[in-house]
Chains A and B, each alone.
Chain A
Amino acid sequence: MGDSQKILWKRPAHPDSYIPPNSFLSSLRKNPNFRPYTYWHVVALSLPATQQLATIFIFLAVFRQLNEGTLDPLFLVGATSVASVLGYSIWVAQTWLGGGYATLTLAHCGKHLRSSILIFLSLLVLSPVLKTLSAATSSDSIYALSAGLFFLNALLGDYRLGKVAPQLQESLISVLSMNAAIASSVVLASRLQQDVAVFALILFSVQVFALSPMLRRRFQHTSHLRFRITSTMVLTSAALFLSAFSFPRSISLLFFMTFAAITFVAPGALIWAQKFKNEIRGPWDVAVPKVN
């Protein structure tokens, strides 16, 4: 056993401060469940976070273009609508190919169509209200608020990978994350001049922050690393391309450095920090009861 010295029910032969040479801390285990990460594995895991940041940067670039008047709002509405239809078809096709005929019938599709038209129209009606909603607030406060909300969005995003049942409700955290992004775009929209620009921006934000993550997550659960790398490349280059047109060069450089830091530097830091891992387990830990 090795525990033979550790008994209290016999009068000890040694003084009470005597420490048995071999049995002391014999049941101490260090890092029992520790599996070291490898660098490229962590890099692959970091890709969803990079994608989320790229989405935010794309949105910021589009906002800037709308604000400067260099992007036609109607063109954005059109592009968004086309992208929505395209994305929805992919989503349906993917469900059907995956054998999900029962979960997604034509009646479901009709319902989806109805609700999307409803959202479209109500956004159109509401856009003058949204435009004046925070118009009285100074731009400094709006930009600070929106930066904070986007930060919250990135912080709370659902970056999990792996198999999750498609019917499974999204976690509260990811709903909060989405709400933060939509709220941020609503306050940003109040800086725009035209009603139609406000409408275009909100529609675009619903597209990129609410709908596209659903599609993206679907593919992350079903497809392989290659898809993840491709979609990250597409999103980051789109973000860099758009920002090159909309912002001064320093901002584009900042975006690029953020991507590099999240994807390549942060995993390296995590791998480096692993050598300090020192988890101590012993008989004093609260046991976890196993109940059938």
Chain B
Amino acid sequence: MRNGTSATMAPLSIAMITDFFYPNVGGVENHVYMLSANLIKRGHKVIVITHSHAPDRVGIRWLVPSLKVYYIPFVPIASSATLPNFLTFLPYLRTILIREHIHLIHAHASLSALGHEGILHSHFFGIRTVFTDHSLFGFDDAASILTNKLLAATLRHVDGVICVSHTGRENTVLRGELYDVAEDGETWTIRNHVYVIPNALIPQHFQPGPQSNSDTVTIVVLSRLAYRKGIDLLVAVAPRICKAFPEVRFLIGGDGPKRIDLLQMREKYQLQDRIEMLGPVKHTEARSVLIRGTIFLNTSLTESFGIAILEAACAGLYAVSTRVGGVPEILPEEMISFAEPEEDDVFRAIGEAISIVKGGKHDPILAHNRIRDFYDWEDVTERTEVVYDNVIKLPHTDIWQRIQRTMGLGPFAGPIYTIILIVNCMFFLFLEWWLPRDQMDFVTEDWDPKKFADFVMGEDEHTQVGSTESIP
């Protein structure tokens, strides 16, 4: 019935649960959307469950490749995340999961309270759970300690964990306590359900621009202008580069609290004609900014994956980046120059990049082609499917096992989370009585991509899922 399903994998009904989704725009949002779109293309049924957005984005909406989105009427508290409360999501979730015949939920982002709650509740329905962690966290500040404990408690119940880089996996394994310590207290064994699947991008959106023959070397910076993006380094290095290399221009896109520092630097060194500040740049306009340059500079102080660097490399730019987080994993050495997060070393790396670019040792077209092969959504989707397949085959964990796992969290957190688990069980039984399954409004008809394709065929060929990105 469905077209494009791989031979080994029966079509699944998957619910993506996250606090971060369109109409907000960002890395996680894009990842969830693209993954869903490609899973639909491979014949699965995918829905997204997220919180509502003011003023009126609430209820059920459809996004372009037949992706159904449930906007639950929850109010976000900070940075689009909802308040973790372990209870109130269950009535909504139960109804949605049952009426949509969901087999598997996939939660995204470790600060998404909805995702955590989805993982905690899903086992009531025998539904398997997968969790993708998109960011890195430290261990030494109060916020990290609290959120890491929440994550550890949630990951006791998860069937599969996906991280976007090897560094991210190390971080998540430590934060989520996904290891078993042997009797002797020395040997660690990492649980075997933690996967590394990188992000991907749409190479067609980042075609290199036409080759220019001018001597000018333009360095592009495209990032949020905030402390964590290392803008202090940029402020320190830019005047030195301008002095040392008269042919260099800077093109800085983005907005944020550190913008004022950049403007002051430009004023102080009289570099108005050398440093151009673009202000906020939309993601859809990123390519048009990128292709104006030849070198992409990223000075981040922390980065779990660094998709911006990939997009730039895909658009044919040579990359210069600080050696932080997962960045060293994403590109081969000959496409990127690394610097320690120190002023002198960033200066050295940019100098190196300028000589490489001017020496003609970097071929934009070749770089684009390589990225196109490395980071492909279809490949990512296939690898995610393997995770789903492994997870679906896992045996069911009964409630007693779950209590034991939860008690293993520690002398204080263990009993607290066990109480939450038991209260949730009772709440679930109450809901079963209060809203019996036979009175539910089941979804009987799904979007049929084939019918839709036939309908559109005559007018346009724009049915190819994945290349049609829609931001509502």
Contact = CB atoms under 8 A, between A and B. Distances in A.
Given A9-B330, A283-B167, A286-B228, A16 B136 contact: no
B196 A284 contact: no
Given A16-B383, A284-B171, A285-B138, A8 B233 contact: no
B329 interface: yes
A16 B170 contact: no
B193 A17 contact: yes
A19 B194 CA distance: 9
In the complex, which of the residues A8, A15, A28, A290 has the most CB atoms of chain B within 10 Å of its own CB atom?
A8
B329 A8 contact: yes
A7 B390 CA distance: 23
Given A8-B165, A24-B190, A287 B322 contact: yes
A285 B451 CA distance: 50
Interface residues of B, number: 53
A102 interface: no
Nearest to A12: B196
Interface string A55-97: 0000000000000000000000000000000000000000000
Contact of B174 (A3, A8, A280, A292): A280
Contacts of A6: 166-167, 328-329
B374 interface: yes
B65 interface: no
B195 A284 contact: no
Nearest to B313: A9
Contacts of B170: 24-25, 28, 282-284
B352 interface: no
Contacts of A9: 329-332, 370, 374-375
A270 to B, nearest CB: 19
Given A9-B330, A16-B196, A17-B193, A282 B343 contact: no
A287 B324 contact: yes
Contact of A16 (B168, B230, B326, B386): B386
Given A15-B386, A16-B387, A284 B193 contact: no
A289 B230 contact: yes
Contacts of B331: 9
Given A283-B167, A284-B137, A291 B233 contact: yes
B198 A291 contact: no
B247 interface: no
A197 to B, nearest CB: 48
A291 B190 CA distance: 39
B281 interface: no
Nearest to A279: B140
B192 interface: yes
B341 A284 contact: no
Nearest to B324: A287
B343 A292 contact: yes
Contact of A287 (B198, B301, B343): B301
B197 interface: yes
Given A25-B170, A292-B344, A286 B192 contact: no
A288 interface: yes
Contacts, number: 106
Contacts of B302: 284-287
A5 B340 CA distance: 21
Contacts of B233: 289, 291
B374 A16 contact: no
B333 to A, nearest CB: 10
Contacts of B387: 16
Contacts of A292: 236, 343-344
Nearest to B194: A17
Interface string A248-292: 000000000000000000000000000000011011111111111
Contacts of A282: 167, 170-171, 174
Contacts of B340: 290
Interface in B117-171: 136-140, 162, 165-168, 170-171
Contacts of A25: 170, 173-174
Given A25-B170, A284-B137, A289 B342 contact: yes
Contacts of A284: 136-138, 167-168, 170-171, 302, 304, 325
A286 B301 contact: yes
Contacts of A5: 166
A6 B139 CA distance: 22
B329 A7 contact: yes
B378 interface: no
B174 A290 contact: no
Interface in B184-231: 190, 192-198, 228, 230
Nearest to A16: B195
B29 interface: no
Nearest to B190: A19
Interface string B379-398: 10001001100100000000
A29 to B, nearest CB: 12
A24 B326 CA distance: 13
Nearest to A19: B190
A17 B166 CA distance: 11
Contacts of A288: 301, 341
Contacts of A280: 139, 174
Contact of A8 (B166, B190, B230, B232): B166
Nearest to A28: B170
A8 B198 contact: yes
In the complex, which of the residues B195, B196, B299, B344 has the most CB atoms of chain A within 10 Å of its own CB atom?
B196
11 contacts: A6-B329, A8-B165, A15-B195, A17-B193, A19-B190, A283-B324, A287-B301, A288-B341, A289-B230, A289-B341, A291-B342
The 9 lowest CB-CB distance pairs between A and B, nearest first, are A284-B136, A290-B342, A16-B195, A287-B341, A6-B166, A8-B198, A284-B171, A287-B301, A9-B374
Given A6-B328, A9-B331, A9-B332, 17 more contacts: A8-B196, A8-B330, A9-B375, A15-B386, A17-B193, A28-B174, A280-B174, A283-B324, A283-B325, A286-B301, A287-B301, A287-B302, A287-B322, A288-B301, A288-B341, A289-B301, A290-B340
Interface of B: 136-140, 162, 165-168, 170-171, 173-174, 190, 192-198, 228, 230, 232-233, 236, 299, 301-302, 304, 322, 324-326, 328-332, 340-344, 370, 374-375, 379, 383, 386-387, 390
